[in-house]
Amino acid sequence: MSDQAPLPPNTYDAEPIPEAARDAIDAMLLSGDLFRYTAPQDAPVALLEREFAALMGSKYALAVSSCSAALFLSLKALDLPRDARVLIPAFTFAAVPSSVLHADCLPVLCEVGANYRIDLADFESKLDDDIRAVIISHMRGHTSDMDAILALCDARGIPVVEDAAHSLGTRWHGQNIGTLGRVGCFSFQSYKLVNAGEGGIMITDAADLVARAVIMSGAYEHNWAKHMAGDDPELAAAFARWQNRLPLYNLRLSNLGAAIIRPQLAEIPRRVRNGRANHDYVAARLNESPWLDVPPPLAPEERAPDSIQFNLVGMDDAATSAFAAAAAARGVKVQVFGQSADNARAFWNWRFIPGDVPELPQTREMLMSACDTRLPARLKRPELDLIASALLDAAEEVMGPAAQYGT
């Protein structure tokens, strides 16, 4: 590499927040009206909930402090008994088993395959009479076979919570991810498609479930009334049913967060379109290498990626480390999920789960060779080429020119 070679972009830089957020924030700073329940109606958080529900095509939305809070409240709102077992994928973020423990439940881990999706045979074998709920993490937007999963869960009457933290904009058979299960949860943390620093939201069509979640999120006294948009006798009855009967966890979103999120909702289609095009372009280039493999999407799936995952082919642990170092030397950060110390997506690091760490050989094998590189939607073709070339060159540096091996 010559000293003049342009370096790939910093993929951790965020996009600027749309200008429109400034006026709303300025007005809020002048009035000091930051709490969602101060205004009699139409507080920014309430407007965000209405807009997000409409955007996703769901009946109700509840904005909260994080996606982790949304997952926790979803489980609490399902009214599961203490120590209920909740089936989750073994490839997910540590926040998922954590939310299960917070809700006084016990996580059961199922295998995930080399394509980052739930292994259906293992899922079905673990979906026994003890499982009271399922959380499906659409990790980095990779959607497991939701037709099969919903059929298995529906047949047993087991509710499905979708962890769509990092999958906003993804579709399955044309339907928005997060609207397939009983509840869908999203994140507005800075590394997700919509960035408010922190924040989350849950969506559902179930009036009783959302009423419980609203109250537990911190709608004390009659603040739940500010969640009623128009006439909804079913929701009103649910609030009346649960009044004073649930603990308050106070996981609310502030008006400031909503003001930062709302103008970004209009940006989602562009970010999804560009993210997908960027991903597919880089995927095609990486798949030219015999050492790199980007698994294809499932047929019903349209992803909204802001990163790319690929498997290393024929590289042992030493070669894998050498590949990551060679990519880093070219300015591209590659994270091999299972190889970095204390990675929060490696199940063996979730030692806060009671009992022994389960053995999940298939998931472990995937985590030891799956690479993760950020690919934000704002990148342009020359930047994508720099990233793709850096990865291809790094693989060749470690494994030798492809042609030599006759592939």
Ligand X SMILES: *Cc1c(COP(=O)(O)O)cnc(C)c1O
Binding-site member from 96, 149, 256, 384 for ligand X (CB under 6 A):
96
- CA dist 229 and 253 (Å) reads 18
Q: How far is the CB of 192 from ligand X (least distance, A)?
A: 6
**Beta partners for residue 186, in sequence order:** 201
Q: How far is the CB of 218 from ligand X (least distance, A)?
A: 17
Which residue reads 């009671």 in tokens?
Answer: 354
User: Within the chain, how many helices (H) and strands (E) appear?
Assistant: 13, 14
Which of the ranges 26-34, 89-97, 107-115, 277-285 carries the binding residues for ligand X, by CB under 6 A? 89-97
Q: Does 95 bind ligand X (CB under 6 A)?
A: yes
Number of residues that bind ligand X (CB under 6 A): 15
Measured CA to CA, the distance from residue 103 to residue 109 in angstroms comes to 16
| Separation of alpha carbons 339 and 316, rounded Å | 12
Integer-rounded Cα Rg, in Å, for the chain is 22
Cα-flanking dihedrals φ and ψ of residue 299, to 5°? -55, -45
Task: Check binding of 98 to ligand X (CB under 6 A).
Answer: no
Question: Rounded to the nearest 5°, which phi and psi values hold at 202?
Answer: -120, 145
What is the 3-class SS of 270-324, one letter each residue? HHHHHHHHHHHHHHHHHCCCCCEECCCCCCCEECCCCEEEEEECCCCHHHHHHHH
Q: Which stretch binds ligand X (CB under 6 A): 78-86, 92-100, 240-248, 263-271?
A: 92-100
Amino acid at 61: A
Asked if 170 is part of the footprint of ligand X (rule: CB under 6 A), the reply reads no
- Nearer CB in complex with ligand X: 90/95: 95
Span from 51-59, 62-70, 251-259, 261-269 in contact with ligand X (CB under 6 A):
62-70
Closer CB to ligand X, 7 or 344, in the complex:
344
Among 160, 163, 137, residue whose Cα is nearest residue 149: 160
**283 near ligand X, rule: CB under 6 A:** no
Question: Among all chains, which residue has been given the structure tokens 């998922």?
Answer: 96
The interface with ligand X within residues 136-165 (CB under 6 A) comprises 137, 139, 163, 165
Q: Kindly indicate which of the ranges 82-90, 91-99, 374-382, 392-400 contains the residues binding ligand X, using the contact rule CB under 6 A.
A: 91-99
CB-nearer residue toward ligand X: 287 or 307: 307
Q: Which is nearer to ligand X, 185 or 238 (CB)?
A: 185
Toward ligand X, which CB reaches closer, 284 or 344? 344
Give the residues lining the site for ligand X (CB under 6 A).
Answer: 66-68, 92-93, 95-96, 137, 139, 163, 165-166, 187, 189, 200
